[in-house]
Every structure is written in C-alpha cells, then in structure tokens.
Amino acid sequence: PPAHPKRKYLRKGELEDAEALASSTVPQLRGDEESFTLYHPDDDKFINELHTIIRRDIWEGFVVDDQDAPAGGGGQATNDGRLSCYVGTVGFRCRWCRDVDPAQRAEKSAVYPRELERIYHANIRFQRDHVPKCKHIPKDMKERYMHLKNNQGGMSRGRKKYWVTSAMRKGLCDGVDGIVIRNAQQQG
C-alpha cells in the first residue's frame, strides 16, 4: 500500500483496541465482494450499541464502480464527471435503500470517506442526515435505533480509533484516491 505521509501512533487505549482486534480472527476482504459490513462481534466491547446497530444492520461498504454515484441530494447519479474520482474506492451506503430509485432515497444514502480516519465522521453524518429520514429501514430496527439515539444520555459516542483499526483488520487501507481494499489493490 502507498506510504501515508504522516505516521500516526496509537495512544494507550487505542493500542489496546488494536491489540484486541489483532488477537481476534477477522476475515480479510478479497475485493470481489458485492458488499461487506464493518461489524465484528467484538464491536460490543469497544463501541456503543447505537454504532453496533449501524455497522451490523444498516450500513454496508462497497467498492464504487461505474454504476454507482456519489450521493448528492437524494443520491442521484450525475454525469458531470464527479463519479470518476470515486471509481475503485470504498463507499458506505444504506443497505435498505441501495436498490431503490435514487430519487426515492433520503439524503446521504451513501457516503465516500477519502481516508480511514474519516469513516467515523462519515458514519455520524449518515446517522444524522440519512437514518431518521430513510423510509426503507425496517420499522422495528428504526424504532430500536431511535430509542437508543433519544435515550443515550451519558452513553459514550464510541472510540473513533476503533473504526480505523477495525477497518484495517478487514483489509481496508488508505489509497491514493480514497479508501481501497488492500488485497484487491495488490492483485490489480
């Protein structure tokens, strides 16, 4: 993988997260999956239940191809050349409205973080802008999500670095044009 310009060191708590992940078995992505989740059973140890629901049940990763498009407004595809900069990189989308007509999707149905450090922030935007407005997430799942969201009180928002270390364990890495799947990059 390309060298990252700034070397980032993990703090003590972040190092413990990384060590725990390293000791667990996480299947590596091959690069030919139609979609994937960031979810791992260890999520419950490191992030709050709200984020676990997103990672396990609502959000899915995918490699952008010519048929996909960045979500502007309702996620409509555009022909103005914006798509070309995302092809071959990883995006994250709502699994419940991915096959729905783009005009029928709530905003931010897909997000395209450009580096691993931005996955957490993309998730927060997705939760804020998409989940409450999405009409395609199953009612019981959305009710559970909204209950947790409205009653989280002192609930920790989750460790941001866990999102990075868990993505790395799945085989994601920072590429020149965005997040890529390490194994697919090595094969291509």
Distance CA 160, CA 92 (A): 17
Q: Look at residue 12 and tell me whether its pLDDT is greater than 70.
A: no
Q: Look at residue 159 and tell me whether its pLDDT is greater than 80.
A: no
Q: pTM of the entire structure? A: 0.76
> HEC states along the chain?
CCCCCCCCCCCHHHHHHHHHHHHCCCCCCCCCCCCECCCCCCHHHHCCHHHHHHHHHHEEEEECCCCCCCCCCCCCCCCCCCHHHCCCCEEEEECCCCCCCHHHCCCCCEECCCCHHHHHHHHHHHHHHCHHHCCCCCHHHHHHHHHHHHCCCCCCCCCHHHHHHHHHHHCEEECCCCEEEHHHHHHC
CA 188 to each of CA 1, 34, 52, 146: distance values in angstroms, whole numbers, following the listed order: 12, 17, 32, 42
Residue scoring higher pLDDT (177 or 31): 177
Q: What is the pLDDT of residue 32?
A: 64
Mean pLDDT in the chain?
Answer: 78
Most confident range, picked from 32-41, 113-122, 144-153: 113-122
Residue scoring higher pLDDT (45 or 76): 45
The residue written with tokens 């395209």 in the block is 112
Confidence of residue 109 (pLDDT cuts 50, 70, 90): very high
Confidence of residue 13 (pLDDT cuts 50, 70, 90): low
